[in-house]
Structure 1
Amino acid sequence: METKSENCTDNGKLEKGKDLEMEEVPTNTGPRFGARHTQVILLFLLVTIAYAIRVNLSVGIVAMTSDHGPPGIPTYDWDDTNVILSSFFWGYVIPQIGAGQLAKNFGPRYILISAMSLCSMFSILIPFMASLGSYGVMICRVFQGFGQGFFYPCAHNILSKWVPLGERTRMGTFVYAGGPFGTVISNPVTAWICDSVIGWPAAFYIFGGVGFLWVICYAILGSNTVEDHKSITDEEKNYIKGTLKQNEVDHSEIPTPWKDMFMSMPMWAILIAHCGQNWGFWTLLTQIPKYMDKILGFNLNANGLLSAVPYLALWILSFVFGALSDLFINKGVVSVGTARKVTTSIGLFGPALALLGLGFVSTEDPLAPIVLLVVAVGINSATYCGYQVNHIDLSPNHAGTLMGITNGAANIFSIIAPLSVQFIVPNEYDADQWKVVFFLSAGIYIICAIFYLIFGSGERQKWDDFQPIEPVKEAMEDKEEKVEKF
């Protein structure tokens, strides 16, 4: 009699022996604030600082190319600002798949330390390189992007080993909500620094310094796995390993099922949703400051504050969607797959409708455009507990590699999106040309959301090389022997 160890339900549990598995999961979760929470907070800070460094140029470039900066601060006459803004992603897409494999084979700790150090160093170098011309800034951004290309695959690898199933959505959401939180901090702080007597160069020095501070903290507190952590309690370790069904196995010895991955429609569903999300998200993130400057007529300080408001909404709503998603999954109201599809749909269809509305409202009164921008960006937060954590559902063993594949492909669109604005909006003071940008993003959101609805899944895939933990396996075998004897 064969076991059903490869067949999984939407909740990632074995169909056969399900009750046995539930009994084996420890009920003692360890301290209220444990080692897993420390790792999640470190990842949240990683993403926060990464986005602060990533997006501060969107506001900083307005000051760098302005004729009204503080005395003694250099400014430049560049006509390729959208190319500069997209150059970050030239480096970002390069290490994605390799980063997932490196994290799986060697652990992500030292990779993250090295990558953040590289990113922070080139943030500090931007003011000097800017004096060499726009290409100098592009070089810095390419190296920053290359360093940050390791962040998400490594973060996914850590989450797959540290976060229990029942906490996956809200902890994953908390980590990736660092993106909008970093944007909320970066936009107004960068605008304030740029408008102060110390000028725009200080913004890059400060954020680069904060990145190095994170490196020190992570070198002290970070850990690849529960086995590597020196002070984790036995209760918490057993809880984490029990809920994740972890064996004492070297993950580097598990072969990567490349063919099965690329033949998997649920993986393609994540990839397509990720591509659509990145097009709309990075179009808005890089262009909102410019839109508010050229069309809505806000000065630099007001621009920085108002550009941050949509991302404040995104950050707050991410916790709402994450908590509700975990609640409904844990209560058995919906399956993991249904939860991922519902939240992804909200996060893509909602912004699409807001962007369509943005194309029809008058820009004479800036209130309506600002409200629609807040809605377009804020509702997008639902994707953090949708496709964004879906890689771990499909394949805990290869989650980092999956994230590398989808994030690498999706960020090609992060390159194209700002560049497309360069061609669609030759006259940045023409509101009708901006409408085309919004309608195009809305259409891409809708198409990608439909694809994910059709092909998305929350089931653990057979090609994940899943093996049940030994106590469960033994219990199942004993049960089958008794059935056969009977």
Structure 2
Amino acid sequence: MSGQYESVPTEVVLMKDENSDAAVNSKTVKNDGPIFGKRHEQVLMHGSLFFLMACIQSSMSIGIVAMNDPTASMNPDISTFDWKDKGAVLSCFFWGSILPQLGSGWLANRYGPKWFLVGTTIICAILNFLLPTVAYSYGSKGVMVLRVMQGFTQGIIPASLYGLLAKWVPPNERTRLGTIVAGGTTIGTVVITFISGYLAASWYGWPMIFYLNGGLGFLWGIVFSYFGTNTPAGHSSITHAERCYIEKSLPLEDKSKKLSTPWLKIFTSGHFLALLFAHCGFNWGFYILTTDIPIYFNNVMEFNIKSNGALSTLPHIVKWIMSLLFSFITDMIISKSICSIGTTRKVMHAIGSLAPCVLLIILGNSGPEDASKAVVLLIVTFGFLGANMSGYLFNHLDLSPNHAAVLMGITSQFGTICTAIGLTTVQYIVPDDDDPNQWGIIFYLTSGIFITSTVIFFFFGSGEVQPWNYERVRTKSPKGDENT
């Protein structure tokens, strides 16, 4: 046992090379600490941050309606506006989040993600408190600048959180605990959709939406600064058994040398590029489903799904519930060695990506008379989309626990760009929202992208830890010899 681990009475049996996919599946740990341990506390804090991110990101969708509606609040003294550029205001957050994602993964990997998360969350909270004042003083242009800044701060968060998951979550618990974290986004979107409407209509009006989210951001930053840590070894009250259980389940690290980010090997790795295609393809299709399908229902199928609060949120709730079910199934398959990690990820990704193709093809050949059936199919489709959380979403941790933050930063950045391209493509191909033929082009194009990215991931993806995961900074001996 290397010096960085403390000896505790825990038995680990390895059947093969311990860095291989099969070795992870064959580990037997007799003492893994308490049923609800410090790793679960950390995961809940990580999930609450995703919840908060979703609240801050989504609140503007409802807030901007109330900001431009003099009758939204019962308080006549709440100021409102008459902005003609509401679409631009909504998109600014999205564009602001693109730039920092790649660099944030590298920074979190090099210096530890904790204080980056605390700092960016508190900054984002301050900006939320300032938003009403900026709106009153500088109008929509000022809000655009502020939302770009908020997007920038939140762009740092996903990759940093993946860096924490890589250190805290054992591989055999990775899918279900990771799904709990990622599920915070879905729950946050649903909760803020309901709460924002009530807050906007209250005596305090639309500013309370942003004050509430700002207060939650401050609270999370304070709590995580006290209880959050970068690694189990840095936690002051974790049990020896739980710490050793986590550390022994992960690839061994040589801490005598610093990690080196193997950029060239990452970008030339076929397994990573397959993951990149999977992330980009899913982003393209998912955001078209969530952003443009409601428009199609309203204009072509003559069914306004957004007017029904239950129907507008039910698909997301079903997706969250099914994602938890798929995550437990995935971890069971992996822990019982029924399939390798890589095969299980591919199958789950295929389930989550091919189901939307069926929906899109059916929608492209349906009319207003099929609206009710199409809504049911949409809800079922979102349930299958939950399988993707057990598919590509945690494959970054499989390929390289040491560089998971960097990998997530790269795929998130490209995925965000593909989202922007996809939504912009809809605007060009569908200038007439009432034309089903124009929508048909989008549906078949999106289905093709779903299928192509899924096939690439299925044949070229992997669940094995990659050799470049262990690369260290090169040093030179006095004689000039290089050591790695």
CA distance in 1, matches of 2:413, 2:353: 20
Which of 394, 397, 404 is the aligned partner of 1:392?
A: 397
CA distance in 2, matches of 1:360, 1:78: 38
Distance change >3 Å, CA 127–CA 386, structure 1 → 2: same
| Mapping of residues 93-172 of structure 1, within 5 Å | 93-131=98-136, 132-172=138-178
Structure 1 residue 381: deviation in Å?
Answer: 1.4
Structure 1 residue 195: deviation in Å?
Answer: 4.3
Structure 1 residue 107: deviation in Å?
Answer: 0.9
| Mapping of residues 302-317 of structure 1, within 5 Å | 302-317=307-322
In structure 1, the partner of 2:21 is 10
- Which 5+ residue runs of structure 2 have no aligned equivalent? 1-15, 473-484
Q: Which amino acid aligns with 1:28?
A: N
CA distance in 1, matches of 2:132, 2:228: 31
| 1:31-90: CA deviation from partner (whole Å, max 9, x where unpaired) | 111111111111111111111211222333444455763364555454544433332222
Q: Which amino acid aligns with 2:454?
A: A
CA distance in 2, matches of 1:67, 1:284: 32
Which of 34, 46, 50 is the aligned partner of 2:49?
A: 46
Q: Which amino acid aligns with 1:234?
A: H
Distance change >3 Å, CA 407–CA 389, structure 1 → 2: same
2:189 is the alignment partner of 1:183: yes
2:411 is the alignment partner of 1:403: no
> How many residues end up aligned between the 2 structures?
453
Distance change >3 Å, CA 416–CA 62, structure 1 → 2: farther
In structure 2, the partner of 1:232 is 238
- Which 5+ residue runs of structure 1 have no aligned equivalent? 468-486
| Mapping of residues 82-481 of structure 1, within 5 Å | 82-131=87-136, 132-247=138-253, 249=255, 253-287=258-292, 296=302, 298=304, 302-363=307-368, 366-428=371-433, 433-465=438-470
2:75 is the alignment partner of 1:69: no
* Stretch deviating more after TM superposition (55-64 or 284-293): 284-293
CA distance in 2, matches of 1:121, 1:70: 24
CA distance in 2, matches of 1:299, 1:269: 35
Q: Which amino acid aligns with 2:59?
A: N
CA contact (8 A) 2:34 2:242 kept: yes
CA contact (8 A) 2:429 2:442 kept: yes
CA distance in 1, matches of 2:315, 2:184: 14
CA distance in 2, matches of 1:68, 1:31: 54
CA distance in 1, matches of 2:362, 2:376: 10
| 1:228-261: CA deviation from partner (whole Å, max 9, x where unpaired) | 100000111111111114346268x111111111
Distance change >3 Å, CA 74–CA 254, structure 1 → 2: same
CA contact (8 A) 1:328 1:334 kept: yes
CA distance in 2, matches of 1:207, 1:175: 19
TM-score when scaled to structure 1? Answer: 0.85
CA RMSD in angstroms comes to 2.8
TM-score when scaled to structure 2? Answer: 0.85
Question: SS of the counterpart of 2:339?
Answer: coil
Distance change >3 Å, CA 271–CA 83, structure 1 → 2: farther
CA distance in 1, matches of 2:313, 2:193: 6
Q: Which amino acid aligns with 2:51?
A: T
In structure 1, the partner of 2:36 is 33
CA contact (8 A) 1:36 1:162 kept: yes
CA distance in 2, matches of 1:198, 1:160: 42
CA distance in 1, matches of 2:199, 2:342: 45
CA distance in 2, matches of 1:39, 1:138: 34
- Structure scoring higher RCO (CA < 8 A, sep ≥ 6) equals 1
CA distance in 2, matches of 1:78, 1:348: 38
CA contact (8 A) 2:262 2:471 kept: no
CA distance in 1, matches of 2:338, 2:305: 48
Structure 1 residue 212: deviation in Å?
Answer: 1.7
Structure 1 residue 298: deviation in Å?
Answer: 4.5
CA distance in 2, matches of 1:79, 1:198: 24
* Stretch deviating more after TM superposition (389-398 or 177-186): 177-186
